[in-house]
Amino acid sequence: MSVAAPLTLYNSLSRSLERFEPIYPANVRVYSCGPTVYNYAHIGNLRAYVFTDTLSRVLTWKAKENGWGPLTHVINITDVGHLTSDADAGDDKMEAAARASAKSIWDIAAHYTAAFKQNLKDLNIREPSRWSVATDHIQEMIAFGEKIAAKHCYQLDSGLYFDVSTVPDYGRLAGAQDDVREGRIDAVEGKRHPQDFAIWRASAPGENRQMEWDSPWGRGAPGWHLECSVMSEKYLGSPFDIHTGGIDHREIHHPNEIAQNQAFCDCSDTGARWWMHNNFLVERAGKMSKSSGDFRTLQRLIDAGVHPLAYRLMCLSAHYRSELEFSEESLAAALTRLKRLAITVSQLRDRPPAPSAGSALAYRERLDEAVSDDLNTPKALPVLDELLADKRIAPTDRLAALADFDAVLGLGLADLKREDLRVRPKNATLDEADIAARLAERREARAAKDFALSDAIRDELAAQGVEVMDGDPLGWDWRSTLA
């Protein structure tokens, strides 16, 4: 098998495609900014992890051929420090959530962390090699602050601030365009430059925080950006290969991480060599935002009867650097596409053995070319369709090649059964067994030419959100119309 196409990835630092070569081929190292666990992830957040999973799968799949060792992938869990504005303004998201629900902040973090991990599982996103939790690294964060304080920071009543004029080229990553600089508000009195940011935020007198620690700069909590510099350095060293996040991080969070990294190494190294950013999932109504309260979670899609892998497929149908607009229609189209794939694969599995008049190799190579071109999954998907439909290739050989597509795209088609795809909506009143029983009665009625009874059963099922589908080309005998 040849998966030797050179891997090119878009580096936000240079705003260009660059050939990827790991710094230490024996161990490829990636850090991804993780979720802030004050609420459920919305499906936009999850797009960021479908992207990192694709990256990690491609790096793993191409490793052997390129002589790379195993991938170390770290994702952090932000359970402290992230304010309602990325630029040091507003309330701590975790503290605010705990106050609103009268729960302990630790319970909140545990609950939403578990929900997030379940989302990843549902989307067939592989676990990283390490989860690193911000509050497990407070002492390291303080030590990091102590190392950079004298040369790069200044103290105000509200905490310790990083002076961005002390590092070369601050904000190079953000670039000239500032259209997404949402929330860059200079809300802290006494900052030398609007872009200066908190390394440590001292608790205000009388402020009642559930999470606070002693530090040389007073009792308080770390600034949000600090954790990622500290944990990436601790687990991946510096420099390491790739740092990922959503496109919003290109403007504030990642430039601030870079500034901290440069201060820490006392050099111009940016920490990661590649900075990669996924574009946003948007809705026609505008940006998807967790703080707006009513937002789309993956569980909400599942409760509405949509298999979560349909959402994964929807993400893969767009390039990660393109904005993707969410709509019910496009999700439904992705579900139909997934059903077709699952049916095609199950039919291949049932075929009798046959000799091959062709080779699947060319398909593997086209898969490789597509994903090696900056993870171009929309280009890879039609190759999969063509492979499965290529009658010259024996079914067993097509299925063997499918394993490569599954390894890279993570759709799990080899194991996906068509029954799995029929998720019952949460508000369903009939379960699958009830439906099967009613359909059996209807078949008997039809065999006995009792069309009145057959129609009555069909109408009764329809009233309960089950549409009977006689002669459906995909071979489904019913579908949900609920939710």
Question: What is the contact surface with ligand AMP in residues (CB under 6 A)?
Answer: 33, 35-36, 44-45, 47-48, 78, 245-246, 248-249, 278, 280-281, 288
Eight-state DSSP code of residue 361: H
Binding mask 21-50 toward Zn ion (x if CB under 5 A, else -) reads ------------x-----------------
Nearest to ligand AMP of 90, 425 (CB atom)? 90
Residue 281's binding partner among Zn ion, ligand AMP, none (Cβ under 5 to 8 angstroms by kind) is ligand AMP
295/394 Cα distance (integer angstroms): 46
Q: How far is the CB of 390 from ligand AMP (least distance, A)?
A: 35
**CA atoms of 354 and 160, how far apart (whole Å):** 71
Residue 270 interacting entry, from ligand AMP, Zn ion, none, C-beta within 5 to 8 Å by type: none
Q: Looking at beta carbons only, is 78 or 480 nearer to Zn ion?
A: 78
What span, in angstroms and rounded, lies between the C-alpha atoms of 76 and 52? Answer: 13
Question: Could you tell which of Zn ion, ligand AMP, none binds residue 395, using a CB distance below 5 to 8 A set by kind?
Answer: none
Binding at 35: pick from ligand AMP, Zn ion, none (beta carbon under 5-8 Å per type): ligand AMP
Run of H or E including 242: strand 240-246
79, 4 Cβ separation under 8 angstroms: no
In the complex, minimum distance from the CB of residue 33 to Zn ion, in angstroms, rounded to a whole number:
3
Q: Which is nearer to ligand AMP, 44 or 308 (CB)?
A: 44
Asked whether position 228 contacts Zn ion by CB under 5 A, the answer is yes
Tell me the per-residue interface mask from 180 to 219 with Zn ion, x by CB under 5 A, - otherwise: ----------------------------------------
- As measured in angstroms, the least distance from the Cβ of 291 to ligand AMP is 9
* CB closer to Zn ion, 109 vs 228: 228
Nearest distance from residue 229's CB to Zn ion, in Å? Answer: 9
Closest approach, Cβ 243 to Zn ion, in A, equals 8
Q: How many residues are listed for the chain in this entry? A: 483
Binds 48, which of ligand AMP, Zn ion, none (CB < 5 to 8 A, cut-off by type)? ligand AMP
Rounded Cα distance between 245 and 139, Å, is 25
Token digits of residue 397: 């050989």
Minimum CB separation from ligand AMP for residue 367, in Å? 25
228 binds, among ligand AMP, Zn ion, none (CB under 5 to 8 A by kind): Zn ion
Contact between 258 and Zn ion by CB under 5 A: the answer reads no
457 binds, among Zn ion, ligand AMP, none (CB under 5 to 8 A by kind): none
- Write the DSSP assignment of 60-78 as a string of letters: HHTHHHHT---EEEEEEEB
Structure tokens at 211: 């999470």
Tokens of 109: 């973090």
Question: Where is 324: in which H helix or E strand?
Answer: strand 324-326
Distance in angstroms (rounded) separating the CA atoms of residues 14 and 172: 9
For residue 228, the minimal CB distance to Zn ion (Å) is 3
Identify the CA nearest to 36 among candidates 113, 98, 99: 113
215 binds, among ligand AMP, Zn ion, none (CB under 5 to 8 A by kind): none
Question: How far apart are alpha carbons 479 and 465 in whole angstroms?
Answer: 8
Whether the CB-CB separation of 409 and 61 falls below 8 Å is answered with: no
Q: Least distance from C-beta 205 to ligand AMP, angstroms?
A: 29
In this chain, which residue has its C-beta nearest to ligand AMP? 246
Q: Which does 68 bind (CB under 5 to 8 A by kind): Zn ion, ligand AMP, none?
A: none
- Cα distances from 297 to residues 42, 116, 302, in angstroms, run 5, 10, 9
Q: For residue 239, is the peptide bond before it cis, meaning its omega torsion is within 30 degrees of 0? A: yes
Residue 44, contacted partner among ligand AMP, Zn ion, none, CB below 5-8 A by kind: ligand AMP
Place of tokens 């699952």: 342
Both tokens of 99, joined, read: 């106050």
Pick the stretch among 46-54, 224-232, 296-304, 430-438 that binds Zn ion (CB under 5 A): 224-232
d(CA 454, CA 439): 9
134 touches Zn ion (CB under 5 A): no
Instruction: Give alpha helix (H) positions in 102-181.
Output: 105-122, 138-152
Q: Are 269 and 176 in contact (CB under 8 A)?
A: no
Q: Is the Cβ of residue 31 or residue 217 nearer to ligand AMP in the bound state?
A: 31
- Alpha carbon separation from 171 to 11, 228, 256, 361 (Å, rounded): 15, 17, 8, 45
Q: How far is the CB of 46 from ligand AMP (least distance, A)?
A: 8
The secondary structure element, H or E, covering residue 264 is: helix 253-265
Residues 6+ apart with CB under 8 A from 425: 303, 304, 305, 465, 480, 482, 483
Contacts of 111 (CB under 8 A, 6+ apart): none
- Name the segment binding Zn ion (CB under 5 A); options: 86-94, 197-205, 226-234, 467-475: 226-234
Please, what is the minimum distance in Å from the beta carbon of residue 308 to ligand AMP?
A: 16
Find which of ligand AMP, Zn ion, none residue 47 binds, CB within 5 to 8 Å per kind.
ligand AMP
| Residues found near Zn ion in the complex (CB under 5 A) | 33, 228
